[in-house]
Amino acid sequence: MKFKNGIAATAVLVLLVAGCTASDEDTGAPDAGSVDWAPCLSEDELDEAPERGGDPDWLQDLECGTVAVPLDHADPDGSTVELALTRRPADGPADERIGSLVLNPGGPGESGVAMLDHPLFDERIQDAFDLVGFDPRGVGESEGIACGDWYAMDEARRAVTDPGDVTDADLAALEESARAYADDCAQTVGEDFLANMGTVNVVRDLDLIRGALGDEQLTFVGFSYGTYIGALYAEMFPENTRALVLDGAVETERPNVEIAADQADAFQTTWDLFVAECLSGPGCPFSGSDAADAEMGELLDRLDAEPPVVRDMPVDGVTLLGMVSLQLYHEDAWADLTEALAAVAEDPAQAGPELERLYDDTYGQDEEPAEDGEPAPTEPGDSGEPGPEFGGPDTEAALTAVNCADRVDPTDPDVYRDTAQRAAGDSPFFGTGLVWEQLPCAYWVDTEEAPTGFSAPDAPPILVIGTVGDPATPYTWAEELSDQLATATLLTYEGNGHTAYGYGMSCVDEAVDAYLLEGEVPQAGLSCPAW
């Protein structure tokens, strides 16, 4: 969950669908028409923008609109969903503009509308493209769903005293909270809506958005989970595809519980990279790489025994670990993370100022505790970003709904227990929460079966980006996706963090810009050095 230059790219447990082509999916869905754009903000809101960290010169150009799409694309005359869009028109001369560049920040559950609240990309991209963000169905302003008791699931996870040895009683409590979550969502949101939350329907919506924008072909940048949207679009609508950048690629074939285990390994790898960087400089609280995990465990125990209060909230070990997991997403925050951990190691009672800076950097200075003094979700698998996009329980509902809709998941809770226990051994700090968050999928409503094995053979060249030290979408997933998609080229960023495009790394940005602007595909095997 990296938030630089306004770009949010979310850590996700992503699902994938495939195997269907545009002709297979021709359901006769109505044309979405055009978008009636209007200014997003009033004059009073623009005047208040600097107080909230916004740039009035950027925000005053934002336009908002909606597109109506069928809830069920097989029933185009039935119920509809109003999708929210935001656009920043291109700055360049009309005869030099290419069209729309549609964006997705990840998730599932993150807002593409909010993504445009801050400046994005360099001037060449801003001159050539109308930048367009949209909230997928069930997210944010697109009839966003809110359901389930996230805190009950979190409480059940925290009650497990030995993550490596989950008892039958532990499992029963976890199962009860997950089943209740799924049941509440079915009752609150409705089974029909949940059954149509999958990415295959987001892709169908995206093609209607493309038409409503007046673009003959789609130009798209998807981060994290957004790479799944883009990859599936290439399979379903190849003739409507111009250029797709898939940054922080996701895995497309396996159940969510297995994907969670992959992410646990990736978080542990990035944690180890952080420890190595910490040890290479001054002030690191760890005595060595082999001792770091044990020393971090002791540090977390000290916080549990004596949690300082930050932003009216006690920061215990779980809360700190949540902030650490999010800070692993962006390498330029690691120096401040080292400082905060060193302060806690020296004296938890006196570490308030450093922890407050870490809290503000992670969640945004205006973020309030979710309710009853509880922090917003902080497990690394949760949807969330530092800054205004940071997800909460409502975002968790959309993430769960899409993930459960997209993949075929096991229904035996023992599978989740076995996987969580293995993850606890492989990644003691980050593994188990990622796995247990998938348990509601064992009890989810029936959805459209998610096809697999797609390769988009008829699509134009596609650009996949992978970061070697990515904690949320392992680099191996980028390799797999670039091999899977017949026309894809892989660009490798050798640094750490989640996603790479648009953050000022010239090697990455120049290659991607050339592809978006001119259709120039980077040389196969291009590898960009760490920032």
Total number of residues shown for the chain: 531
- pLDDT tier at 464, thresholds 50, 70, 90: very high
Helices 475-484 and 225-236: crossing angle, nearest 10°? 0
* CA gap 270, 385 in Å, rounded: 17
The rounded Cα 244 to chain-centroid distance in angstroms is 18
Cis, bond preceding 460 (omega within 30 deg of 0): no
392 or 467, greater pLDDT = 467
The pLDDT tens digits for 482-513 are 999 999 999 999 999 999 999 999 999 999 99
Model pLDDT, residue 3: 27
- pLDDT tier at 28, thresholds 50, 70, 90: very low
**Residues that are catalytic:** 224, 470, 498
The pLDDT tens digits for 314-327 are 999 989 999 999 99
- pLDDT tier at 531, thresholds 50, 70, 90: confident
Model pLDDT, residue 393: 52
Could you count the other beta carbons within 10 Å of the beta carbon of residue 372?
Answer: 6
Helix (H) or strand (E) holding 439: none
Give the least confident one: 24-33, 220-229, 293-302.
Answer: 24-33
Model pLDDT, residue 31: 67
The radius of gyration computed from the CA coordinates of the chain, to the nearest angstrom, equals 22
Model pLDDT, residue 12: 36
Residue 202 pLDDT greater than 90, yes or no: yes
Q: List, as own/partner pairs, every contact residues 412-421 make where C-beta atoms lie below 8 angstroms and the sequence separation is at least 24, other chains included.
A: 412/442, 413/171, 413/174, 413/175, 413/439, 413/442, 414/171, 415/257, 416/174, 416/257, 416/442, 417/166, 417/171, 419/257, 419/258, 419/260, 419/261, 420/163, 420/166, 421/163, 421/164, 421/165, 421/166
List of domains in the chain: 2-143+198-254+450-528 (3.40.50.1820), 150-193+410-443 (no CATH), 256-363 (no CATH)
Model pLDDT, residue 394: 58
Joined together, the tokens standing for residue 311 give: 């932003």
DSSP result, 261-311? HHHHHHHHHHHHHHHHHHHTSTT-S-S-TTTHHHHHHHHHHHHHHSPPEET
Helices 168-189 and 413-426: crossing angle, nearest 10°? 110
